[in-house]
């Protein structure tokens, strides 16, 4: 598990019983905008720390090929050469 932090202003952030609450003190345009911004930032930080980042690829078409060789992913995508990428083990 990792740890992230975020500075915030004009909104109140509380953690109660495992839930995170972001509240604003007024309905001004600035308060509404920052309320949504900080809610999204907190949500993204929680997901990033708990689930991590993944990317799923889908190869569609004739002549494309992908193969996994240890920690290397080799892609044949129709270029003059194959593309080799290092991938991190889980």
Domain range annotation of the chain: 11-50, 55-90
Residue 70 is classified by DSSP as: T
Per the model's pLDDT, the better-predicted residue between 33 and 60 turns out to be: 33
Considering the chain, what percentage of its residues have pLDDT values greater than 70? Answer: 97
Of the listed ranges 6-10, 27-31, 74-78, 81-85, the least confidently predicted one is 6-10
**What radius of gyration do the chain's Cα atoms show?**
21
pTM: 0.59
């Amino acid at each position: 598990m990792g740890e992230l932090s975020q500075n915030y202003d004009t909104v109140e952030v509380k953690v109660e019983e495992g839930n995170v609450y972001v509240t604003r003190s007024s309905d001004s345009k600035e308060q509404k905008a920052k309320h949504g911004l900080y809610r999204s930032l907190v949500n993204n930080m929680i997901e990033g720390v708990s689930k991590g980042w993944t990317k799923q690829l889908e190869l569609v078409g004739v002549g494309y090929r992908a193969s996994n060789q240890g920690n290397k992913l080799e892609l044949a995508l129709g270029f003059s050469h194959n593309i080799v990428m290092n991938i991190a083990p889980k």
